[in-house]
Structure 1
Amino acid sequence: MKTRLKPIAEQVVVITGASSGIGLTTARHAAALGARLVLVSRNAEALGALVQELRRNGHFATRVVADVARIDDVREIAEVARGAFGGIDTWVNNAGISVYGKLESIPLEDQRRLFDTNFWGVVHGSLVAASELRRRGGALINVGSEVSDVALPLQGMYSASKHAVKGFTEPDVVADAIIYAAQHRKRDIYVGAASRLFSIGNRLMPHLMDKYLERFMFAQQRSQRPRRRGSPSALYAAGVGMHERQRQENRVAESSLYTRLTTLDW
């Protein structure tokens, strides 16, 4: 018999990578719907600010400063969740980083570090979450990417890490999809029609997709802004927190009719 997932208002939700981007947006959405939150990031300052913000608004939240690449840190997340709220109903493996450049130009230690977070962080979170959720049921949500199906130029190792996540198992739309997945048993949710088209196109017309990516994706991943010396990098240390949007220069869609239709209760 399948375990029935609780309404989000009755859930304790763990969110990794909660101090910025999709994780931050999801935390705010889930809190507004009444969930009790265990928020995880390497960025202690941003996490503290987020927990204070949510508590001021009458929500229940606690924080764990942790690096998901370290299994002991991930085990501590579960311990904090049990101590603060008595257990876990949904665990969201969202923490992720990327590096841009051709594979031969990126130092191997940087590529390994990316995999430690994007792949092993998901493995660690999944194993710990499974142990907790087995006792009471619940949802394990691994945030993937369309690049698990289609490798992007300049993000080859990031694509590889997301493909590994898929094998192992912009922000408002993704956050809504995560909250939907926390309450409904649905194996895969594609956020935005483009992600679904990328997946289908690569499966049916791989040569044409390669040509398209080569023609258009280099420019879309490059910026006209020069990198500032001393600017923070999220690869080895916590990045800048409390930003839901990642300052994209290109236009980013704020809604998706495709995702809305595929997550309706028909």
Structure 2
Amino acid sequence: MKRDGHIHTPYCPHGSKDSLRMYIERAIELNFSTITFTEHAPLPNGFIDPVPDKDSAMLRTQLEDYINDIQSYQQQYKSNILIHVGLEIDYIEGYEEQTREFLTTYGPYLNDSILSVHFLKKANNYYCIDFSEDEFARIAEIYGSVDNVHSQYYSTVKSSIKADLGIYKPKRLGHITLVNKFQKKFASTESFESTILSLLDDIKAEGYELDYNGAGISKPLCKQSYPAPWVVKEAIKRNIPLVYGSDAHAAQGVGQHYEALVNALIK
């Protein structure tokens, strides 16, 4: 079964305006049998988007239309491809209760979703680690070093694994090495190998899946999948399910680097 489990949509304020139909037709063209639309879920009530453009996620007022639109295409294309309604849920430290309430309300409408970390908390402030290289440099200065940013990122991922977000908590962890997005300019001096292996043990213990994400290969300062290849090999040793995700923000991104990621599994 050829599956792309991480696709964005025209509802993404920092993505393209390519239609849902364009994404679906592209997936069919590439012979995918299953796709999941995983738009960035509305941010929790009370959380202020820290990025300059305030465009990290769709608005709560758009959510019903988003779900209805995908459900309509599920029916239209049911003989061609299996389409899942999903969301990419942000784990944000300090907003667990609001996230649990959101999932309790909307979880019944979702077929398949992802839990990701984009935001780090320091004191009473939040920072988005993947917004831009300039912002990452600023965050590293605030945290004191690139290594400290990595340490806080992996600590937050660990919290996301352990968090009680209710029965509709996503079972797949998104791009767990996203902190490497700018690694060719801002490299950590530590490997964080033991930290990441501990995360994999936690993921295995909870019975979760991993988003095997091709987007990082296209990022000029990353050029690597999320998670990194060595992490993927360790996940396989633990029999942690891997679900390929293009993380497409435009129709042409569907399936990006699929063959490279699959081939890496058999080396």
TM-score, normalisation: structure 2: 0.35
Between Structure 1 and Structure 2, which shows a larger proportion of helix residues?
Answer: 1
Larger radius of gyration: 1
Between Structure 1 and Structure 2, which shows a larger proportion of strand residues?
Answer: 2
